[in-house]
């Protein structure tokens, strides 16, 4: 009886082994001088979970599709050139890894959203350490979970007009994605998320994109940390999302009439902590935003450090430094449902008799001249003149035009961020 059972076990094990195929995955090598010259052939003949090593060379084979779980590793940065026929690399299977390639040459089509690397309905895909150039969309991921996009350089064409550009890293209806250590530049949006939840965006650089460095909508419970967004046409805009965390990001030199370091529109429960907003036309614009926790950020040398619209409520601003901005704050109404406490304002001229580090008289961050500018933007040429100084000072003594109640009751005497130069 026992012998019979043992026999069954062996048979079952054999059956499993047979069914799952060779347990040791094969490694294929594709190269211009090797046995396998065509990448497409290798992709079609490899078994699931095989590894394909691709040697240095240029592979121009039109659109390539990875339809089974494979690991593609480029040795010496081989080039996959799509020859502008459509997408370049399409991934339709889970557990695919693509690492170490140069991918270029998509068709430019708004109907098919052609991309350098396109991931469709596939979970656990890893796109690592690739260079994408001359692509319409560069990395396009949709309907997928747990995607990792890391260490890629996404280089668009800086001379292309905006309507012929698409997004660098584009995720649509994804969850659990990790977008880490990428560079995305000269596209339309550097990083674009729509319906992307529970994801992390870390240590990326997004610059010189014609529209937004980062753009997300309807993307909840995501975190963005240690990224750099600079010189993007309209800065960073994030909309219609909740439970978002943004920490230690840098929003630098986003200049232009409608350019923002960070534009928050209809964002609820957002934490904005220890970021730097430097040299932007508008550092941060808050429009229809509930329960924003804005702590420990630096606003320096911006035109308008903070524009807080009256429809923003329950925002809490503490421990931020406002240094060398043309205007610390402006508003379109009376956003009194936000609280300011314990921020450093370089315009503050109060005193601290108890020496507890906070000023004894409140600071009103919205100046009269900022209100004037809200009406007549060209009045900015008068900023820092004796006239506007006198007007602002008179207004501070006898407030009449600036929103009442909007004040920092415990302005810091020293910046929590130390001494800073322009």
Dump strand ranges (E) for 41-198. 51-54, 58-59, 64-66, 71-74, 79-81, 89-91, 97-99, 102-104, 115-120, 126-128, 131-133, 137-142, 148-150, 153-155, 169-175, 178-180, 183-185, 191-197
Determine contact, residues 99/74, Cβ cutoff 8 Å.
yes
Q: Near another protein by CB under 8 A, which window of 48-56, 155-163, 193-201, 408-416?
A: 408-416
378 lines the binding site for another protein (CB under 8 A): yes
Q: Near another protein by CB under 8 A, which window of 92-100, 239-247, 267-275, 276-284?
A: 276-284
26 lines the binding site for another protein (CB under 8 A): no
Buried b / exposed e over 328-352, threshold 16 CB at 10 Å, is bbbbeeebeebebbbbbbebbeeee
Out of 24, 375, 397, 398, name the contact with another protein by CB under 8 A. Answer: 375
**For another protein, what does the binding mask look like between residues 44 and 83, x meaning CB under 8 A?**
----------------------------------------
Output the DSSP codes for 342-397: S-EETT-----SS-SSB-SS-B--B-HHHHHHHH-GGGGGGTTSHHHHHHHHHHHH
Out of 6, 24, 257, 397, name the contact with another protein by CB under 8 A. Answer: 257
Whichever of 353 and 381 has its CB closer to another protein, that residue is 381
Whichever of 257 and 398 has its CB closer to another protein, that residue is 257
The contacts of residue 210 (CB under 8 Å, 6+ apart) are 162, 165, 186, 187, 188, 232, 233
111 lines the binding site for another protein (CB under 8 A): no
Residue entry with tokens 């990875």 = 66
Whichever of 60 and 385 has its CB closer to another protein, that residue is 385
Angle at 163 between CA 158 and CA 165, to 5 degrees: 45
Out of 21, 158, 256, 357, name the contact with another protein by CB under 8 A. Answer: 256
Footprint of another protein on 332-361 (CB under 8 A): 346
Tell me how far apart the alpha carbons of residues 81 and 101 are, in angstroms, rounded to a whole number: 10
419 lines the binding site for another protein (CB under 8 A): yes
Coil vs helix vs strand at 145: strand
Output the DSSP codes for 30-79: E-TTSSB--HHHHHHHPPTT-EEEE-SSEE--SSEEE-S--EEEESS--E
**For another protein, what does the binding mask look like between residues 294 and 333, x meaning CB under 8 A?**
------xxxxx------------------xx-xx------
Min CB(413)–another protein separation in Å: 8
Q: Near another protein by CB under 8 A, which window of 36-44, 122-130, 206-214, 387-395?
A: 387-395
Out of 383, 396, 399, 410, name the contact with another protein by CB under 8 A. Answer: 383
Min CB(422)–another protein separation in Å: 5
Out of 181, 310, 382, 396, name the contact with another protein by CB under 8 A. Answer: 382
27 lines the binding site for another protein (CB under 8 A): no
Residues forming the site for another protein (CB under 8 A): 255-257, 259, 279-282, 300-304, 323-324, 326-327, 346, 372, 375-390, 413-415, 419-422
């Amino acid at each position: 009886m026992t012998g019979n059972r043992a026999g069954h076990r062996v048979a079952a094990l054999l059956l499993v082994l047979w069914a799952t195929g060779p347990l040791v995955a094969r490694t294929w090598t594709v190269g211009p001088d090797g046995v396998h010259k065509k990448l497409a052939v290798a992709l079609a003949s490899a078994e699931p979970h095989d590894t394909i090593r691709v040697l240095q060379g240029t592979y121009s084979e039109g659109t390539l599709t990875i339809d089974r779980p494979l690991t593609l590793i480029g040795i010496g940065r081989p080039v996959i050139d799509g020859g502008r026929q459509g997408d370049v690399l399409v991934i339709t299977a889970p557990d695919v890894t693509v690492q170490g390639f140069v991918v270029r040459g998509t068709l430019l089509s708004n109907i098919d959203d052609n991309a350098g690397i396109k991931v469709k309905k596939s979970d656990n895909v890893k796109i690592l350490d690739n260079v994408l150039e001359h692509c319409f969309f560069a990395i396009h991921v949709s309907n997928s979970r747990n995607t990792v996009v890391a260490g890629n350089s996404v280089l668009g064409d800086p001379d292309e007009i905006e309507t012929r550009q698409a997004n660098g890293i584009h995720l649509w209806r994804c969850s659990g994605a990790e977008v880490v250590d990428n560079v995305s530049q000269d596209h339309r949006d550097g990083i674009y998320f729509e319906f992307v939840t529970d994801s992390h965006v870390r240590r990326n650089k997004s610059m010189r994109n014609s529209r937004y460095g980062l753009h997300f909508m309807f993307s909840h419970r995501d975190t963005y940390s240690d990224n750099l967004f600079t010189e993007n046409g309209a800065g960073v805009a994030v909309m219609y999302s909740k439970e978002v965390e943004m920490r230690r990001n840098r929003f630098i030199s986003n200049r232009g009439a409608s350019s923002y370091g960070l534009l928050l529109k209809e964002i609820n429960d957002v934490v904005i902590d220890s970021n730097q907003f430097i040299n932007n036309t508008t550092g941060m614009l808050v429009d229809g935003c509930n329960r924003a926790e804005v702590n420990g950020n630096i606003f320096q040398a911006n035109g308008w450090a903070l524009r807080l619209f009256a429809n923003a409520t329950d925002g809490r601003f503490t421990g931020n430094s406002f240094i060398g901005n043309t205007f610390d704050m402006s508003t379109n109404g009376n956003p009194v449902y936000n609280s300011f406490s314990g921020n450093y304002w370089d315009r503050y001229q109060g005193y601290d008799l108890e020496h507890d580090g906070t000023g004894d008289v409140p600071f009103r961050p919205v100046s009269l001249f900022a209100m004037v500018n809200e009406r007549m933007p060209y009045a900015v040429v008068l900023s820092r003149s004796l006239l506007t100084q006198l007007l602002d000072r008179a207004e501070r003594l006898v407030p009449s035009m600036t929103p009442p109640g909007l004040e920092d009751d415990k302005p810091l005497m020293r910046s929590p961020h130390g001494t800073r130069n322009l």
